[in-house]
Structure 1
Amino acid sequence: MQFNRNARLDSSQVRSSGGGGRSGRGGGIAVGGGASIIIVILALLFGFNPGDLLGGGTGTTTGTSGSTGTGSGAGTTDAYADCETGADIEANPECRWVAYTNSIQAYWTQALPGYQVTETRTFSQGVQTACGQATSDVGPFYCPADQYVYLDTSFFEGLLAQLGAEGGYAAEAYVIAHEYGHHIQNLTGTMEQVQRQGQTTGPDSPAVRLELQADCYAGVWFRFADNDPDGPIAQITQDDLNRAIDAAETVGDDHIQETMQGTVTPENWTHGSSEQRKQWLWTGYETGDPNRCNTFSAGAMG
């Protein structure tokens, strides 16, 4: 992924949260079937119960479509104040979090009337959020209670590769754009509607449809970023798209289940298959239209 050296960055959209304890988020997690820590992290990243996905366990997690706990988080600092232009990414790669966030929110500000600009909050070790406490084992997640996207900046170092993903900046951008997709769903009321329905697993469940829509929204942003001459993303290459799609396929429920337990159980799916995730990410990119991301329509699931 190439960055626009001359683009101005707004560092106020990314702040660093203070560290916290290690008691976990929500009510904790119980993972059955001998699942590895990879599944625990992915569960927290994408908001599902790993016990459900692997067909065992009774733990709960606070994910993208739910909230527990109280409080709005520990104090934050403007750790990215020196990230002023795209050129600063060359000296300080951490500035890329500002570039992703700025570009994503620039798109939704013009695409969604009444869009509420929020923050990406980075952390290490742990962080207290309005959705509960998260530890350093947690990757990026969206908390609907305080409307922030939380990011442990060390998350991407090797995790997706352990599941066979190529990784890279485009894979990072996909994951963060997916979480901002949940912010859109929260603002539009889609997330609340899915919560009321209560069905959290299954290949056609509202929960899966919610996640696939967030993938589609991420794809729409990729199209915007590729055609925004003044934005911080200078160009989206074919390799970038391949890496984003590869990441989406890697976190498909069937791929995770096959990798971790050797069998695929669609009744436990929470986010959709690798093919579905690829399809909806590509639909978003190909159309560039968030109105084409209606995964809740009849026939949307194929």
Structure 2
Amino acid sequence: MRLSRRSARVLATAGTLILLLSGCARMLDGTPVSIFADPFRVGGLQAVDGPTGLRPDAPPPDREVKGTDGGRIDQLAAQSVSDLEAFWTTTYPNTFDGDFKPASSLLSWDPGQRKGTFCRNRTFLLINAAYCYLDNTIGWDRRLLLPALRNAYGDMAITMVLAHEYGHAIARTAGITKRRQTPTLVAEQQADCLAGVYLRWVAHGDSPRFTLSTGDGLNGVLAAMLALRDPLLNPGETVGNNEHGSAFERISAFQFGFTEGADSCRSIDAKEIEQRRGELPIQLQQNETGEVPVSEDSVRVVVEAMNILFTPAKPPQLSFDAATASCTDARPSRPASYCPATNTITVDLPGLQTMGTPSKDAKLATLSGDNTAYSVLVSRYMQAVQIEHGGLVLDNAAAALRTACLTGVATTKLSQGVTTSNGGTIALTAGDLDEAVAGLLTNGLAAGDINGESVPAGFSRIDAYRTGVLGDFDRCLQRFP
């Protein structure tokens, strides 16, 4: 968030998570298909926890890896590519013109060793996984990048990375990506989309090698994608040179493919991404960190901004007395709760401050920041708006996703900034959407019902939030009546 006053700007430093990895959501017209709005389904699949990773009875890999040390990382990578090729061998001709063309070779390297090349580049200090357009090869760093991802998010993080890299190969063969014409940003999100197509096949139970639960398993895949987002752009930095996309954008593209199939990946181009971005900020402004420390004053400013944006007849009251707060028709959902009986939002300020503290781990920690907290606060305000709308049930799973959706609507409304009564302005900044997505994935509170209960799949929470970011109030009520 950005909070400016007449005489001063309230800022705080933020930790930025950067990973060296190269590598949607759109408005859906009409009435949504019921299986995609079902709170207990993920793109039509039942949302369940369960086994995730390499099957104990998986067949041996079909592909050899050059330069391998024979270790677990390379074994998982070889199995992943073998599985991807089994999938695309069947799926490619049913979706695209022509024949499927497998990767020419696979290469593993240790970035600590001075010898070795990949795609005409030295592999010494190359901490990466990539697809090479020059010779249709796929390579990866087996010592640093893939082990770090696996340790943080499990075996399927490796499969996800290679599904993305193989997505580049598929997009090139199909003519979706044209090497010298397609911007990097577009090519990367096309590959994210195609990775989603494959991983749905795994989640459906069709892979002979891997399993992926639609609950915690898919959450791990999405968390890895959070880690692989672009760092925030500072003033003076150029947008678009080697841009891959924010976590919000990349997870959106992945969800395109997972939910809608390979045909949806064709529609990702520069125009589509520009339309999807709209007025959402992608670059920090001068003297801006994007972080507003959570305080009683900042909470009051956010609530006042919501009053201005939504003009309720009876604006909710704000209380910071969480210790003695009681409510006759809802359970508390700290650090922010809404009570319909009293029309009061109660904030546990220390808890909200903890939630809004930027992550300082520069490795693979889940992203967090001020909007992780403010999105929860806004979600409680949007419950008050739903009460005033009338006729809406607020204590079930559909209500949880409706709240996430409306929180997305409110987030987009902040992109232009809101001037409050003291002359200050509060506005969305670059990185805020990613911080909200991180919270939706880890704690789910911004996608909670009136009692703080959420749905099991982070995928569904993020999908609902994205629907609101890219839609409007009526769209949320249509999808989650």
Alignment pair present for 1:153 and 2:142: yes
Q: CA deviation at 1:137?
A: 2.8
Alignment pair present for 1:208 and 2:185: yes
Partner of 1:190: 176
Q: 1:169, 1:264 → 2: CA distance?
A: 35
Cα offsets for 1:94-149 (capped at 9, x unmatched)? 42222211111111111113112223321222422343332243321111122111
Q: CA deviation at 1:228?
A: 4.2
Partner of 2:130: 141
Partner of 2:66: 16
Evaluate the alpha carbon distance shift between residue 262 and residue 130 of structure 1 in structure 2; reply closer, same or farther with a 3 A threshold.
closer
Which 5+ residue runs of structure 2 have no aligned equivalent?
1-51, 94-98, 277-481
For residues 197-236 of structure 1, what are the structure 2 equivalents within 5 Å?
A: 206-229=183-206, 231-236=208-213
Which 5+ residue runs of structure 1 have no aligned equivalent?
18-76, 81-88, 198-205
Cα offsets for 1:149-180 (capped at 9, x unmatched)? 1012113367569xxx9432222221111111
Q: 1:263, 1:157 → 2: CA distance?
A: 32
Q: 2:272, 2:61 → 1: CA distance?
A: 41
Cα offsets for 1:202-255 (capped at 9, x unmatched)? xxxx321111010011111110112344510033342221122122222222xx
Q: 2:238, 2:149 → 1: CA distance?
A: 21
Alignment pair present for 1:123 and 2:112: no
**Residue 264 of structure 2, aligned match among 292, 298, 301:** 292
For residues 45-84 of structure 1, what are the structure 2 equivalents within 5 Å?
A: none
Task: Name the SS of the counterpart of 2:180 in structure 1.
Answer: helix
Alignment pair present for 1:280 and 2:280: no
- 8 Å contact kept, 2:53–2:211: yes
Q: 1:194, 1:146 → 2: CA distance?
A: 12
Task: Name the SS of the counterpart of 2:144 in structure 1.
Answer: coil
Q: 1:147, 1:178 → 2: CA distance?
A: 14
- 8 Å contact kept, 1:168–1:243: yes
Evaluate the alpha carbon distance shift between residue 179 and residue 112 of structure 1 in structure 2; reply closer, same or farther with a 3 A threshold.
same
Partner of 1:257: 232
- 8 Å contact kept, 1:222–1:236: no
Alignment pair present for 1:109 and 2:89: yes
Q: 1:7, 1:123 → 2: CA distance?
A: 25
Cα offsets for 1:5-58 (capped at 9, x unmatched)? 2231234x13132xxxxxxxxxxxxxxxxxxxxxxxxxxxxxxxxxxxxxxxxx
- 8 Å contact kept, 1:179–1:214: yes
TM-score of the pair, normalised by structure 2: 0.40
- 8 Å contact kept, 2:128–2:141: yes
Partner of 1:181: 167
Partner of 2:398: none
Q: 1:230, 1:270 → 2: CA distance?
A: 32
**Deviating runs (4+, > 4 A) in structure 1?**
157-161, 261-269
Evaluate the alpha carbon distance shift between residue 283 and residue 242 of structure 1 in structure 2; reply closer, same or farther with a 3 A threshold.
same
Q: How many residues are paired up?
A: 214
Q: State percent identity of aligned pairs.
A: 22
Evaluate the alpha carbon distance shift between residue 93 and residue 154 of structure 1 in structure 2; reply closer, same or farther with a 3 A threshold.
closer
One-letter amino acid of the counterpart of residue 209, structure 1: V
Please provide the CA RMSD for this pair: 3.1
Q: 1:178, 1:257 → 2: CA distance?
A: 22
**Residue 80 of structure 2, aligned match among 100, 106, 115:** 100
Q: CA deviation at 1:93?
A: 6.0
- 8 Å contact kept, 2:53–2:156: no
TM-score of the pair, normalised by structure 1: 0.61
Partner of 2:54: 3
Q: 2:273, 2:192 → 1: CA distance?
A: 14
- 8 Å contact kept, 2:85–2:102: yes
- 8 Å contact kept, 1:104–1:177: yes
Q: 1:235, 1:207 → 2: CA distance?
A: 29
Q: 2:136, 2:209 → 1: CA distance?
A: 23
Cα offsets for 1:54-93 (capped at 9, x unmatched)? xxxxxxxxxxxxxxxxxxxxxxx7x65xxxxxxxx9xx56
